[in-house]
């Protein structure tokens, strides 16, 4: 055969083989788990003349019956960059998290062209390489349990004031750190450093190396133990969320960005982002939600002058492609945000159109900026969650939570309300070692008021004057005692019928100090006293016998009836009521707490017998 003809036919055969090549499939083929599809495609590099992030586009369409999910992919260098540090290679990757068991089929679209990655046109550019590759996946039921989100399922907005896990229906009540915001400023991540030498906040997370356990992930010869151990520690304390920035260029820390360079906007660091994913996947296993804060006040005009332009689309697309498969993510579109309502709406719409899992979108405000930012968002169909900051006038926590839940409900799209950052910028929640500290105050006037208002919980900020601050902290044990206090609250509220309960303080007569009531009428009532007082509750509309249980917010003990408290403390004189009987004549006195009558208490009443009750 003519050598030129032979070469031609070999080239065609190679092209056909490439076009029809099947991807390498990795991961547990189970519901809610990460399934990885890696395709062999064109050789490229992070700094290639034809930008692999902008001028190639991988999207894999997964189908099951009538359902269709379009999942964006990304350039993965050599496919092992987190370990190798590679900046070049021919691997192109998609992460898929199936939410149904059974057979799924897939088809890859791989196209090249100028800025094709951020084009809304599915036919933009030209088909290339493995475009059209197809296959099937048979997905089994999840086998995970406990805090692992691969057992609970995706964290979804379902149209009411609580986010819920799709697999269990469980309402999400959050507790965890809002600091350090530069959680990802970790020296073991590739190409991570302090851009501004005057802002030397880089972390080694050394105090948490001891929390790393055998079998936990590392990378590049044992790196990562500090940050993985930090996640382990928080999870062991019952904390279930971390607030962190993915970009603080020109911001407070100037030590976190996903790009290949501080001044780059269209090329991403493959090995660094692989290493971020190792941490995020570990958070998923440990039941820790990713509160992904995509920008901060200082840089929310950095990309495209604040608009939804090429830079911002590129940034959002890479975050979605690399991390959206994690079941429990909240996309927080800005800390102390200054974008216009029209800009924020466009950001929300972009995430809704490109995130196949439709994770909730949130927005964080400056203190007192709630009306300016949130009022224009009422009813917007792709915005879901408030991320509210307050200063030292903590009593606004209850009022703002109730206000925005009610307003959003009236607008037809009820919002979950997160409290993210409480206190003056210099203070926040003070360390355990500082005595006295403000932890008891925060418990009484922020933590419990948030939950009693129907809110979804609090993430806690560390003030800049504290020894372990919002930028310098790398030892979460500095608030070890406070994590216990936070855990107690979400544990007890997690056992209430929250979906049926609403604030109804008018049922309570407690004139001496603030008291709150969360009521499922005729069934369950929770009453929180910032300081116990002789109070009554009006249940005359629902006659019957109610069991009365007392919960100690300071120690986590309870909820117990009076008799159960007496059994636990036989040397104390416990006179707490164990039940009250309600008729149509009188309001009911709640009685005395078991002890510490000058402190805060939570009382839970459960109706155990209805109608006429014989005394």
pLDDT in tens, 181-195: 999 999 999 999 999
Length of the chain: 615
**pLDDT band at residue 12 using 50, 70 and 90 as cut-offs:** very low
Give per-residue burial for 232-252: e unless 16+ CB within 10 Å, then b. bbbbebbbbbbbbbbbbbebb
Write the pLDDT tens digit of every residue in 545-581: 999 999 999 999 999 999 999 999 998 887 788 888 8
For residues 449 and 415, give the distance between their C-alpha atoms in angstroms, rounded to a whole number: 17
The boundaries of the domain holding residue 594 are 498-610
Taking a C-beta distance cutoff of 8 angstroms, is the pair 315, 307 a contact? no
DSSP codes of every residue in 375-420: GGGTT-TT--EEEEEE-S-TTHHHHHHHHHHHHHHHTTS---EEEE
Mean pLDDT of 204-226: 99
Residue 364 has pLDDT above 70, yes or no: yes
Going by DSSP bridges, is the β-strand pair 289-293/241-245 parallel, antiparallel, or unpaired? parallel
- Claim to verify: residue 46 and residue 179 sit in the same structural domain: no
- Claim to verify: residue 296 and residue 190 sit in the same structural domain: yes
Q: Which has more confidence, 595 or 586?
A: 595
Provide the Cα torsion 417, 343, 382, 349; round to 10°.
-150
Residue 534 has pLDDT above 90, yes or no: no
Among 356-360, 420-424, 570-574, the range of highest mean pLDDT = 356-360
CATH label of the domain that carries residue 133? 2.60.40.10
- Claim to verify: residue 502 and residue 489 sit in the same structural domain: no
Q: How far is CA 28 from CA 141, 155, 290, in A?
A: 10, 20, 22
DSSP codes of every residue in 560-588: B-HHHHHHH-TTS-----SEEEE-SS--E
- Claim to verify: residue 119 and residue 167 sit in the same structural domain: no
**pLDDT band at residue 611 using 50, 70 and 90 as cut-offs:** low
Predicted pLDDT of residue 5: 41
Q: Where are the alpha helices (DSSP H) in 35-99?
A: 81-84
Mean pLDDT of 241-250: 99
CATH label of the domain that carries residue 568? 2.60.120
**pLDDT band at residue 9 using 50, 70 and 90 as cut-offs:** very low
- Short-list 496, 381, 478, CA closest to 428: 478
Taking a C-beta distance cutoff of 8 angstroms, is the pair 39, 21 a contact? yes
- Short-list 255, 257, 253, CA closest to 269: 257
- Claim to verify: residue 435 and residue 527 sit in the same structural domain: no
Q: Which has more confidence, 20 or 188?
A: 188
- Claim to verify: residue 584 and residue 601 sit in the same structural domain: yes
Min mean pLDDT across 42-51, 348-357, 445-454, 606-615 is at 606-615
Task: Report if residue 2 sits inside a domain.
Answer: no
- Claim to verify: residue 76 and residue 169 sit in the same structural domain: no
pTM for the full predicted model: 0.95
Task: Report if residue 208 sits inside a domain.
Answer: yes
Taking a C-beta distance cutoff of 8 angstroms, is the pair 78, 86 a contact? yes
Residue 274 has pLDDT above 50, yes or no: yes
Strands (E), 113-261: 126-127, 134-139, 155-156, 164-165, 174-177, 241-245
Residue 612 has pLDDT above 90, yes or no: no
SS (H, E, C) 415-475: CCEEEEEECCCCCECCCCCCCCCCHHHHHHHHHHHHHHCCCCEEEECECCCCCCCCCCCCC
For residues 499 and 19, give the distance between their C-alpha atoms in angstroms, rounded to a whole number: 51
Task: Report if residue 335 sits inside a domain.
Answer: yes
- Claim to verify: residue 337 and residue 216 sit in the same structural domain: yes
Which of 493, 519, 539 terminates a domain? The answer is 493
For residues 127 and 523, give the distance between their C-alpha atoms in angstroms, rounded to a whole number: 61
Q: How many domains does the chain have?
A: 3
Which of 476, 493, 510 terminates a domain? The answer is 493
Mean pLDDT of 442-449: 96
Q: What is the H or E stretch that residue 26 is in?
A: strand 24-26
Task: Report if residue 485 sits inside a domain.
Answer: yes
Query: Could you tell me the two tokens for 493?
Result: 């509220």
Q: Which has more confidence, 394 or 146?
A: 146
- Short-list 452, 424, 405, CA closest to 553: 452
Mean pLDDT of 291-311: 99
Q: How far is CA 460 from CA 178, 243, 415, 456, in A?
A: 5, 9, 20, 13
Task: Report if residue 209 sits inside a domain.
Answer: yes
Residue 543 has pLDDT above 50, yes or no: yes
- Claim to verify: residue 330 and residue 377 sit in the same structural domain: yes
Residue 16 has pLDDT above 50, yes or no: no
Residues of the chain above pLDDT 70, percent: 96
Predicted pLDDT of residue 4: 39
**pLDDT band at residue 452 using 50, 70 and 90 as cut-offs:** very high
Residue 10 has pLDDT above 80, yes or no: no
**pLDDT band at residue 614 using 50, 70 and 90 as cut-offs:** very low
- Claim to verify: residue 126 and residue 154 sit in the same structural domain: no
Mean pLDDT of 592-597: 90
Task: Report if residue 428 sits inside a domain.
Answer: yes
- Claim to verify: residue 537 and residue 482 sit in the same structural domain: no
Query: Could you tell me the two tokens for 521?
Result: 């009428």
For residues 259 and 266, give the distance between their C-alpha atoms in angstroms, rounded to a whole number: 7
Residue 7 has pLDDT above 80, yes or no: no
Give per-residue burial for 133-156: e unless 16+ CB within 10 Å, then b. beeebebeebebeeebbbbbbbbb
- Claim to verify: residue 351 and residue 468 sit in the same structural domain: yes
Q: What is the H or E stretch that residue 277 is in?
A: helix 270-286
Mean of the per-residue pLDDT values for the chain? 95
């Amino acid at each position: 055969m003519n050598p030129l003809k032979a070469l031609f036919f070999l080239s065609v055969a190679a092209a056909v083989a490439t076009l029809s090549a099947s991807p390498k499939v990795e991961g547990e083929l189970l519901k809610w788990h990460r399934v990885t599809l890696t395709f062999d495609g064109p050789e490229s590099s992070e700094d290639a003349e034809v930008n692999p992030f902008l001028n190639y586009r991988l999207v894999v369409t997964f189908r099951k019956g009538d359902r269709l999910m379009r999942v964006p992919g990304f350039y993965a260098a050599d496919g092992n960059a987190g370990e190798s540090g590679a900046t070049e290679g021919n691997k192109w990757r998609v992460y898929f998290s199936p939410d149904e068991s059974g057979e799924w089929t897939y088809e890859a679209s791989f196209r090249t062209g100028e800025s094709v990655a951020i084009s809304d046109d599915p036919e933009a550019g030209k088909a290339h390489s493995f475009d059209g590759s197809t296959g099937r996946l048979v997905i089994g039921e999840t086998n995970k349990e406990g805090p692992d989100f691969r057992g609970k399922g995706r964290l979804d907005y379902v149209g009411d004031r609580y986010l819920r896990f799709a697999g269990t229906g469980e309402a999400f009540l959050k507790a965890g750190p809002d600091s350090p915001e530069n959680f990802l400023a970790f020296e073991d991540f590739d190409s991570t450093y302090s851009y501004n030498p005057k802002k030397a906040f880089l972390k080694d997370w050394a105090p948490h190396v001891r929390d790393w356990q055998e079998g936990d992930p590392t990378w590049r010869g044992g790196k990562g133990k500090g940050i993985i151990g930090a996640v382990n520690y928080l999870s062991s304390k019952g904390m279930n969320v971390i607030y962190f920035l993915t970009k603080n260029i020109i911001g407070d820390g100037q030590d976190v960005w996903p790009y290949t360079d501080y001044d780059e906007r269209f090329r991403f660091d493959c090995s660094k982002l692989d290493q971020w994913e190792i941490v995020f996947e570990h958070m998923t296993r440990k039941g820790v939600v990713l509160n992904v804060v995509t920008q901060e006040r200082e840089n929310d005009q950095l990309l495209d002058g604040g608009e939804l332009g090429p830079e911002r689309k590129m940034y959002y697309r890479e975050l979605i492609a690399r991390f959206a498969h994690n079941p429990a993510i909240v996309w927080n579109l800005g800390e102390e945000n200054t974008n216009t309502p029209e800009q924020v709406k466009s950001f929300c719409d972009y995430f809704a159109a490109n995130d196949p899992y439709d994770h909730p979108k949130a927005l964080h405000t400056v203190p007192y900026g709630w009306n300016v930012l949130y009022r224009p968002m009422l009813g917007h169909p792709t915005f879901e969650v408030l991320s509210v900051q307050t200063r030292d006038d903590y009593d606004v926590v209850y009022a703002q939570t109730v206000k925005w839940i009610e307003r959003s409900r009236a607008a037809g799209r009820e919002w979950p309300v997160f409290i993210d950052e409480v206190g003056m910028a210099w203070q926040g929640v003070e360390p355990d070692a500082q005595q006295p500290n403000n932890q008891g105050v925060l418990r009484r006037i922020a933590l419990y008021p948030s939950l009693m208002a129907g809110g979804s919980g609090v993430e806690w900020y560390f003030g800049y004057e504290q020894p372990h601050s919002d930028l310098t902290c790398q030892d979460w044990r500095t608030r070890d005692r406070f994590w216990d206090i936070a855990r107690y609250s979400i544990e007890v509220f997690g056992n209430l019928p929250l979906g049926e309960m609403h604030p109804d303080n008018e049922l309570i007569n407690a004139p001496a100090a603030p008291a709150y009531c969360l009521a499922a009428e005729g069934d369950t009532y929770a009453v929180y006293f910032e300081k116990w007082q002789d109070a009554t509750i009006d249940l005359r509309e629902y006659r019957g016998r109610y069991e009365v249980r007392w919960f100690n917010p300071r120690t986590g003990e309870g909820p117990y009836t009076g008799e159960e408290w007496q059994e636990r403390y036989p040397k104390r004189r416990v006179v707490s009521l164990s039940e009250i009987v309600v008729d149509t004549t009188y309001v009911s006195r709640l009685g005395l707490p078991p002890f510490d009558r000058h402190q805060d208490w939570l009382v839970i009443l459960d109706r155990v017998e209805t109608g006429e009750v014989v005394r």
